Structure 1
Amino acid sequence: MNKHILFTGGGSAGHVTVNTALIPHFEKEGWRITYIGSEEGIEKEIITDQFPHVPYKSISSGKLRRYFSWKNFTDPFRVMKGVIEALSVIRKTKPDIIFSKGGFVSVPVVMAAKMAKVPVAIHESDVTPGLANKLAVPFATKIFTTFPETVKTLPAEKSLCAGAIIREELFKGDASEGKRLSGFYDEKPVLMIMGGSLGARKINEAVRANLEELSSNFQIIHICGKGNIEEQYKQKGYRQYEFIKADLPHYLAMTDYVISRAGSNSIFEFLALKKPMLLIPLSREASRGDQILNANSFVKHGYALSLEEEELNEESFLTKVKELQTNRDTIISSMEKGEKAYTIQDMYEELSSMAR
């Protein structure tokens, strides 16, 4: 009988990426795979699109808001309903282990796993655990963290730093194919700007306000988010994309510098590929402040420069980009000395050894 792993996680693309990196490896090793997510979340689209053969089970879940909403009163009932639904899936499919990437949909699954006596591994991407993972910690068998400092905030006997789990295809990019796809032929370095899955209005504005100056120094790949391409800025050496999916490894292979939000998965991918980066984290108004902590950690380790959104304007943006160019070699040197993260094979072995 094949071993069986059940994955869960959702609510944002970041809560799915590690799962999509691990699933192919478990398939290759002959494991059966099931995924539990929400009916409406982005995880359903990602998993059913990339792995149409993997059974996807939808459950109910609360939103776990940190702010006041009348829905907060009904959410506990949604979570309870989700626990019952997850328990039903677990009892029918009989997984040997459950791997949770967090997000609110994972909470009922982890609770149900404890009731069904199935070992649970959690992976936490950010410096401080998100609310969903905080709730899930007591039910987890083992907690893997991305940042070394996170371990100090968790139960020592079941926590360890594994680093980020990087998709293997990212290392297979071809720089000459990236140049062919983008039409770049100059000797100028390539600057990639990434604003997250929805793009980032303030970053997009700062780039376009400085386009003349930036274009004299770089060829620019600007991933500006859905509906954010502006035709009037079309010019040689500046390419706009709503998003880049399958060809991203080729574009990254030719990239010399990155400007990005500070979502954990993305910045660890740039670190693994040794791309000097300027991070512009989501502000505290727009998030729980986790991206600011992620960026601070990278600055402390010498992997990146950071610019907070409140300080972002045309001048500060250009100053930081110039500073990034000046410090390129120092940043790459720090990246090369950094701790080595777990490979997908390492993670596979850890999870295999936990399976019942």
Structure 2
Amino acid sequence: MTSTKQHIDAPSGSTLNPLRILLAAGGTGGHVYPAIAIADAVKGVRSDSEILFVGTRDRMEWQAVPSAGYDIKSVWISGFHRRLTPQNLLFPVKLVTSLVQSFSILKRFKPDVVVACGGFAAGPVGWVAAKLGVPLAIQEQNSYPGVTNRILAKHAVKIFTAFEAAEQYLPENKIELTGNPVRNSLKVSDKQDALDHFRFSDDKPVLLILGGSGGAKALNDAMAERLDELHDEYEIQIIWQCGEKYYKNLSTSINEKEYPNLRLLGYIDDMPAAYGAATLVLTRAGASTCSELMIIGKPSVLVPSPNVAGDHQTKNAAAMVDEGASVLISEEELSDAITNKVPALLKDDEKLQNMSQAALKLAKPDAANQIAKQLFELAKRNNSHE
């Protein structure tokens, strides 16, 4: 599969050579997909640029990156657990090995610039790049930077952030607020076409629940508990993406024939249709999800996961709530709020419209392009100093 590339005009008054760029990202889609978006944008500037990813073999990047049309190399690294575990005993060995592997990859590929997008793999690659004198840029997706990017920040020449709140944790003189890079394929289907796709009517609101590829147990539990009220009493049409690992049990316990306005899915193949049909989105507050909601202008109810570093999802959500684009609901109040707050919000057309406009004002749809242009300039400046 090849990536969707778009042409981007080069900065005025400059002639840009092809770029050799190494992107280190891994672990979750929140790290990997922004990196892929940057790679696509670099190709949009110069299609003959050479791009290499570095990640880990046992995480999602090992499938996602080749599917996007890019080569990937691996380093042997994992996280360090706070409690004593057998994995921690291996950590020093993995760290040394990953540093040696990173050195070998960088020496062979000879990148003009390295971009660390977070995740375990970005740590050793970014550190070795800085020691070798290769310009290091960081792309931080969240309001609260991950530990890898916080460690690398002092070695970086440029830090691209998505939320203003991240500035307090990173060197201010290196920061540029660009927004999160979002894939070019992000689209929203026509409303009527989307409703037809899900066999929904146009006279009832549609609630889209997104649990992410892994699903969100708290969202699933609350939905299962309140499904009868939402479906029968409030007559809401529901697209419920529960996650593949939860789908079998939920589809067994829920008789979908009794819920004609429910579409229970482990995974959503057609996200443009799901977004197009949705009146309101109920979801976690991961950085990529928040950025997508901004760009497409969808009103949202955000339920931050409490099980993330630095409670960064709450900080991500706060940025949207403060501007009126979203409503924040904690896990503790979720079950009651699904029936106390969500149905009323779905009926408030003016509120939904205001939330949509607020989301669009926060959006930075050109983030990947802006980052790509600056990477070319970083490489150009570095080469001129050699």
Whole-Å separation in 1 of the counterparts to 2:41 and 2:192: 28
1:160 is paired with a residue whose SS is strand
1:319 maps to which of 340, 350, 354: 340
- Are the counterparts in 1 of residues 214 and 245 from structure 2 also a CA contact under 8 Å? no
Task: Show the counterpart of 1:332.
Answer: 356
1:7 is paired with a residue whose SS is strand
2:291 partner amino acid: F
Whole-Å separation in 2 of the counterparts to 1:15 and 1:343: 15
1:7 partner amino acid: L
Cα separation, partners in 2 of 1:162 and 1:68, compared to 1, 3 Å = farther
Q: What is the CA deviation profile of residues 273-307 of structure 1, one whole-angstrom value per residue up to 9, with x for unaligned ones?
A: 111111111124x6542112222222222221111
Task: Show the counterpart of 1:42.
Answer: 60
1:250 maps to which of 238, 249, 273: 273
Q: State whether structure 2 residue 269 is matched by structure 1 residue 269.
A: no
Please show how residues 149-160 of structure 1 align to structure 2 within 5 Å: 149-160=165-176
1:294 maps to which of 316, 327, 342: 316
Runs of 5+ consecutive residues of structure 1 not aligned to the other structure: none
Cα separation, partners in 2 of 1:160 and 1:66, compared to 1, 3 Å = farther
1:227 is paired with a residue whose SS is helix
Please show how residues 142-153 of structure 1 align to structure 2 within 5 Å: 142-153=158-169
Superposition deviation, residue 67 in structure 1: 4.0
Q: State whether structure 2 residue 152 is matched by structure 1 residue 136.
A: yes
Superposition deviation, residue 70 in structure 1: 4.7
Superposition deviation, residue 248 in structure 1: 0.9
Q: RMSD value over aligned CA atoms?
A: 2.1
Q: What is the CA deviation profile of residues 113-145 of structure 1, one whole-angstrom value per residue up to 9, with x for unaligned ones?
A: 112211111111111111111111122111111
Whole-Å separation in 2 of the counterparts to 1:338 and 1:170: 17
Cα separation, partners in 2 of 1:76 and 1:135, compared to 1, 3 Å = farther
- Are the counterparts in 2 of residues 199 and 225 from structure 1 also a CA contact under 8 Å? yes
2:299 partner amino acid: P
Whole-Å separation in 1 of the counterparts to 2:276 and 2:374: 30
Task: Show the counterpart of 2:243.
Answer: 225
Superposition deviation, residue 206 in structure 1: 1.6
Whole-Å separation in 1 of the counterparts to 2:51 and 2:86: 37
Whole-Å separation in 2 of the counterparts to 1:174 and 1:307: 29
- Are the counterparts in 2 of residues 259 and 280 from structure 1 also a CA contact under 8 Å? yes
Please show how residues 74-93 of structure 1 align to structure 2 within 5 Å: 74-93=90-109
- Are the counterparts in 1 of residues 181 and 365 from structure 2 also a CA contact under 8 Å? yes
Query: What's the TM-score, normalizing by structure 1?
Result: 0.91
Q: State whether structure 2 residue 215 is matched by structure 1 residue 199.
A: yes
Whole-Å separation in 2 of the counterparts to 1:153 and 1:244: 35
Whole-Å separation in 2 of the counterparts to 1:171 and 1:105: 30
Would you identify which runs of 4 or more consecutive aligned residues in structure 1 move more than 6 Å?
A: none
Q: State whether structure 2 residue 326 is matched by structure 1 residue 304.
A: yes
- Are the counterparts in 2 of residues 175 and 251 from structure 1 also a CA contact under 8 Å? no
Cα separation, partners in 2 of 1:347 and 1:76, compared to 1, 3 Å = same
- Are the counterparts in 1 of residues 42 and 369 from structure 2 also a CA contact under 8 Å? no
2:81 is paired with a residue whose SS is coil
Identify which range, 172-181 or 143-152, moves more after superposition. 172-181
- Identical positions, percent: 28
Task: Show the counterpart of 1:352.
Answer: 376
1:47 is paired with a residue whose SS is helix
Cα separation, partners in 2 of 1:189 and 1:153, compared to 1, 3 Å = same
Q: Aligned pair count?
A: 351
Whole-Å separation in 2 of the counterparts to 1:186 and 1:156: 48
- Are the counterparts in 2 of residues 276 and 324 from structure 1 also a CA contact under 8 Å? no
Cα separation, partners in 2 of 1:152 and 1:256, compared to 1, 3 Å = same
- Are the counterparts in 2 of residues 169 and 249 from structure 1 also a CA contact under 8 Å? no
1:36 is paired with a residue whose SS is strand
Whole-Å separation in 1 of the counterparts to 2:72 and 2:360: 39
Cα separation, partners in 2 of 1:262 and 1:283, compared to 1, 3 Å = same
2:39 maps to which of 12, 15, 23: 23
Q: State whether structure 2 residue 30 is matched by structure 1 residue 14.
A: yes
Whole-Å separation in 1 of the counterparts to 2:190 and 2:50: 33
Task: Show the counterpart of 2:129.
Answer: 113
1:278 partner amino acid: V
Whole-Å separation in 1 of the counterparts to 2:26 and 2:51: 16
